[in-house]
């Protein structure tokens, strides 16, 4: 989750400014960039316990240790809650998950180098502290009660509000991890096509990256439990948002949707003001009960957009949100998956052809089924998700080839898809591989996951 935006504090006079804000994301293809984010669970090496904020084996000590690499600290009160450097940030999630929000880079080679450098730094500091970090989509062992809460004001507001809207919002906050990629659009028409195609295909990403089959030390019956908890977190701000596929979808239509999502907070003078459940439309009119007479700025709007959690989210770019956190190769594979499909016109058209006839009911049913069945999910044409994955990965490979982004050895970006192609070839997700180990070599003991799946 993002911290408070520090953009231009321009007061918003009307809705048109919010539409213009989305339109300001339009970029010509030569300026399209790739931004990758990933979260990970910290744990003590000796006891496999979650990391508190304070202490010699705490998140605060980790953030302080990382500063040796040139990271600059950001504070909330006296607490360091994030690090920044050269367009990147390292921040902490509600339950102590550590997140890297990468810079906007030109190609996947840079993305993977960035990830590898970050994980190397985390490993160096973590080894000294006696802590490690784990790449999974859901906490495999700890209960909610055992999971500490980080000292950020917005998290207390969310913790209080979440149970009012669903049974699993607190699990989302404290016990889940994801990998995401942020991609650009050229125009409203380009945004619409990318939004529709990527939203329809988020369940495929969920299937390919399914990596959360355990809860509190035992199998939970799901391959992507992270995806399951999103189905009962907050219906106001989550899901497959069917209006994206309706005639007339536009920047303005998304703005209207965002205006109708209840707020969480407003950030003022270093403090989060609790306005949970209140209306941004009232804020526009200067009638927000939590801040009477005050009008919002574009910073407030940008912050509000970060509290929307559909499977694809739009700010001034599109954010792909369907994948579980995972091992480092898959942290590079997710941006490769989406860049191959969305950053080449021919690939985008081919991918859209495969999904354009699905109904809203089809998309919702697929999203629900992949939680349990992943690549075995039945598709509307009678094939399986595995069959669709094979077709989509071929399309994505062609899109990456067409980009012709080469590394220093003259190699293109296609090899970043290899981990996903292996899953499709074997018909087996990371979650299913872990379950085989759990029932076999691990002897139904979850603790080996902290060694075999640590970064």
What confidence tens digit (pLDDT) does each residue in 53-80 have?
A: 999 999 999 999 999 999 999 999 999 9
Q: How many angstroms separate the CA atoms of 94 and 74, rounded? A: 16
Q: How many angstroms separate the CA atoms of 41 and 56, rounded? A: 17
Give the pLDDT score at 4.
Answer: 46
Domain spans in the chain, listed from the N-terminal domain onward: 15-261+308-452
Tokens of 386: 């595995």
- Closest C-alpha to 115, from 309, 334, 322, 324: 334
Bridge partner residues of 182 (DSSP): 35, 319
Asked whether residue 51 carries a pLDDT value surpassing 70, the answer given is yes
Confidence of residue 8 (pLDDT cuts 50, 70, 90): low
Confidence of residue 2 (pLDDT cuts 50, 70, 90): very low
Paired sense of beta strands 309-310 and 238-239, if any: parallel
Q: What mean pLDDT is reported for the chain?
A: 96
Expressed in percent and rounded to 5, the helix, strand and coil fractions of the chain are 45, 20, 35
Paired sense of beta strands 214-215 and 178-183, if any: unpaired
Give the pLDDT score at 9.
Answer: 81
Whether 65 and 127 have beta carbons less than 8 Å apart is answered as no
Per-residue pLDDT averaged across 28-45, rounded?
98
Give the pLDDT score at 7.
Answer: 53
Would you list the DSSP string of 18-29?
HHHHHHTTB--G
Q: How many angstroms separate the CA atoms of 79 and 155, rounded? A: 14
| pLDDT tens-digit series, residues 245-287 | 999 999 999 999 999 999 999 999 889 999 999 999 999 999 9
Tokens of 84: 């920044």
| Domain 15-261+308-452 indexed as CATH 3.90.10.10 | no
Please report how many Cα atoms fall inside a 13 Å half-sphere around the Cα of residue 268, on the Cβ side.
11
Q: How many angstroms separate the CA atoms of 295 and 297, rounded? A: 7
Asked whether residue 365 carries a pLDDT value surpassing 90, the answer given is yes
SS (H, E, C) 163-204: HHCCCCHHHHHHHECEEEEEECECCHHHHHHHHHHHHHHHHH
| pLDDT tens-digit series, residues 221-248 | 999 999 999 999 999 999 999 999 999 9
Using only C-alpha atoms, the chain has a radius of gyration, in whole angstroms, of 21
State the CB neighbour count (10 A cutoff) for residue 112. Answer: 23
What is the model's pTM?
0.96
Per-residue pLDDT averaged across 440-444, rounded?
98
443 burial type by CB count under 10 A (0-12 exposed, 13-18 middle, 19+ buried): exposed
Per-residue pLDDT averaged across 41-50, rounded?
98
């Amino acid at each position: 989750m993002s911290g408070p935006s520090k953009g231009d504090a321009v007061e918003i006079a009307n809705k048109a400014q919010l539409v213009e804000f989305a339109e300001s994301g339009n970029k010509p293809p030569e300026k399209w960039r790739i931004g990758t984010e990933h979260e990970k669970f910290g744990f003590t090496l000796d006891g496999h316990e979650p990391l508190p904020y304070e202490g010699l084996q705490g998140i605060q000590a980790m953030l302080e240790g990382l500063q040796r690499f040139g990271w600059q600290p950001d504070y909330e009160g006296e607490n360091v809650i994030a690090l920044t450097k050269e367009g990147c940030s390292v921040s902490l999630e509600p339950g102590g998950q550590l997140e890297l929000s990468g810079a906007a880079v030109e190609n996947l080679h840079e993305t993977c180098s960035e990830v590898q450098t970050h994980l190397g730094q985390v490993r160096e500091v973590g080894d000294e502290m006696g802590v490690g970090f784990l790449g999974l989509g859901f906490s495999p062992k700890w209960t909610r009660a055992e999971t500490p809460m980080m000292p950020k004001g917005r998290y207390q507001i969310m913790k209080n509000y979440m149970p009012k809207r669903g049974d699993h919002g607190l699990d989302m906050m404290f016990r889940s991890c994801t990998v995401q990629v942020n991609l650009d659009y050229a125009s409203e028409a380009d945004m619409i096509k990318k939004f529709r195609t990527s939203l329809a295909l988020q369940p495929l990403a969920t299937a390919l990256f399914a990596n959360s089959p355990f809860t509190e030390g035992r199998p939970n019956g799901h391959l992507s439990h992270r995806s399951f908890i999103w189905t009962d977190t907050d219906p106001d701000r989550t899901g497959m948002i069917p209006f994206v596929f309706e005639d007339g979808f536009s920047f303005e239509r998304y703005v209207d949707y965002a205006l109708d999502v209840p707020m969480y907070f407003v950030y003022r003078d270093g403090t989060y003001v609790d306005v949970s459940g209140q209306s941004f439309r009232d804020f526009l009119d200067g009638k927000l009960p939590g801040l009477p007479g005050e009008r919002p700025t574009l910073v407030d709007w940008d912050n509000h957009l970060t509290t929307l959690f559909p499977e694809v989210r739009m700010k001034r770019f599109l954010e792909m949100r369907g994948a579980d956190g995972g091992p480092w190769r898959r942290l590079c594979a997710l941006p490769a998956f989406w860049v191959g499909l969305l950053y080449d016109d021919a690939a985008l058209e081919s991918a859209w052809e495969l999904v354009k006839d699905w109904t809203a009911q089809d998309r919702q049913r697929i999203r629900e089924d992949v939680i349990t069945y992943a690549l075995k999910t039945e598709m509307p044409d009678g094939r399986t998700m595995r069959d669709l994955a094979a077709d989509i990965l071929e399309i994505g490979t062609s899109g990456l080839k067409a980009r012709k982004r080469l590394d220093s050895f003259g190699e293109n970006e296609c090899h970043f898809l290899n981990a996903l192609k292996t899953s499709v070839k074997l018909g087996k997700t990371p979650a299913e591989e872990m379950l085989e180990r759990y029932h076999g070599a691990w002897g139904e003991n979850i603790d080996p996951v902290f060694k075999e799946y640590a970064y």
